Chains A and B, each alone.
Chain A
Amino acid sequence: MSMFNGLIESPPGAAAAAAPGHQADGGAPLHVAAYGLEAGELHTLGAILHVLKTRTEAAWELGDLDRADFVIAPLALARDPDHGLPLRGRNVIPLVAEDGPLPREGDLVLTSPIRVMAVLEVLNLASRRLGQVPQAPPEVPARADESAHADSSLGAVLSASLARTRDDHALRIRILSAGTIYVWPSERRFHVDFPLSMLPRIVMERRFVMTTAPVRAPELAEIRPQAMPLTPLLWSIGIAQTRCTDPSATDAYRLLRWPEFDRLPHEMGHLRLCGVMAGTAWTVEDLQRHSGLPAPFVARFLRACVACGYATTEPRAAETPPAAVRTPHASANAEGGLLERLWRRLGFGAAA
């Protein structure tokens, strides 16, 4: 396995990428270097940068390590105290294996094998970090649902698409790292050709191709009999750490039934929220306060429950419901944190 340190070899015509006309703010182009990539990766990256020369938000040039604004380097090398020494103090875009941890929204990470859209995305994020992209003109603040849709994760995009797809069409989503999801929105059914257990990870994916097709298309008709209710997909989208529309602060949420935890991914906090909500409608604020769980966690749980039909909203109660005086933390202590201890004992993972 050969390793190359230093510059990415400029592909033919790479100089054009730095043409003044491509500079978003009319300033100097930004520079990206590669360090420690394999020969194949270097070649791919060079070709991709050539393709992207007119498509990035700011102009990027290939540069050497000393003048690079960002350096793309393998994660292991960036963390190596000896071999990674030349990267110290530099802005590093780590290159991680595809089966490694998924980057979170906004992370500057590139996954291997290197792909065009991933490079485009990471360079745009990088230029925004450096303030090289002109500020957007003042606009009317985006509505909550619009800001949610600004999230490019599959979960956020799919949520928006479900409501917009024509009744006689289905969605086909190809995920490069996994397989294909087929969704029949009007029938509220879906099919995946990869293990369902991958869904929580897949809905965070940002590299996918979504198309629509008539439900009578042969490809769809063939797999339609294998489709299942949409619940596992909606649940995975709901609890995913994606941007989402905040639950209404003025409505109260009532749990109609417990989620099917025997088949849906869950954490201990989800069970605790069900226990707190039992039989009473709760506002988000009360539920967060009385469960002691982080507000985003509570919001995602409610989002998932409403999407799957496990919970519904009601106008806020005029009076404080009896359950609102509950103190689950105190109750947990009264039982000596029995749930936490049992959860660990049963091997369900960290109790947090």
Chain B
Amino acid sequence: MAREHVILFAGPMGAGKTTAIASLSEIPVVRTEAHNTDTDRHAKATTTVALDYGEITLADGDKVRLYGLPGQERFDFMWRILEPRAIGMVLLIDNAGADPLADLDHYLNAFARFRDRGAVVVGITRSDLARQPSIDDYYARLRNRALFLPVLEVDARDPAQAGILLSALIVSIEARSGAASAPA
């Protein structure tokens, strides 16, 4: 029987969640966008208000379901609905944002419960527009939290790069799964 594997894409508005899912999905992404009224935070015209959805069908019929969570906190009820089904999360951080390291902290805190049971990878987008903070800065911030998560630069528009990020997440899921199933 075909199984489903739910992957969440989280991060601040404009980090590239919708774009990354579109790069990976074999179907046109189901989008629920609305006019962006929060132009102070990001200048883009529209933003996700409920969720984005895309999928990848594997050879045996299993499906990898990709859900993009809205970046605005007032929609965080969607996070709670999807979180229990998810096996992993791609956290995208816009390196050209106002305070990318604070964004990292914010989302790690917001998903602290998920982080305890699921795998998380961090994708740094738009680093071509802003070289700082560096990847080393992100790792340092994670070390301060006693975390070791994969941090990779990614161009969300590039299917190959988005695929590497997703693969890194799956590797982490399998490693965690192995640790959990190991004898005590």
Contacts and interface: CB of A to CB of B under 8 A. Distances in A.
B163 A348 contact: yes
A322 B183 CA distance: 11
A257 B173 contact: no
B167 A335 contact: no
A271 B169 CA distance: 10
Number of contact residues on B: which range applies?
A: 35 or more
Contact of B174 (A257, A275, A325, A348): A275
A272 B163 contact: no
Given A260-B153, A262-B164, A334 B177 contact: yes
A342 B64 contact: yes
A274 B177 contact: no
A338 B150 contact: no
A257 B147 CA distance: 11
Q: Name the prevailing secondary structure of the A interface residues.
A: helix
B177 A335 contact: yes
B59 A257 contact: no
B175 A275 contact: yes
B116 interface: no
A54 B59 CA distance: 61
Interface in A260-307: 260-262, 268, 271-272, 274-276, 278-279
Which among B62, B139, B178 has the greatest number of chain A C-beta atoms within 10 A? B178
B175 A345 contact: no
B110 interface: no
A16 interface: no
Given A257-B139, A328-B178, A336-B3, A271 B58 contact: no
Contacts of A342: 56, 58, 64, 166-167, 170
Contact of A260 (B152, B155, B175, B178): B152
Contacts of A336: 3, 60, 62
B153 A262 contact: yes
B166 A328 contact: no
A341 B182 contact: no
Interface in A98-147: none
Given A261-B168, A334-B178, A342-B64, 7 more contacts: A275-B172, A325-B182, A330-B181, A338-B170, A341-B59, A346-B56, A346-B163
CB-CB nearest 7 A-B residue pairs: A331-B178, A275-B171, A275-B175, A279-B148, A331-B177, A346-B163, A341-B58
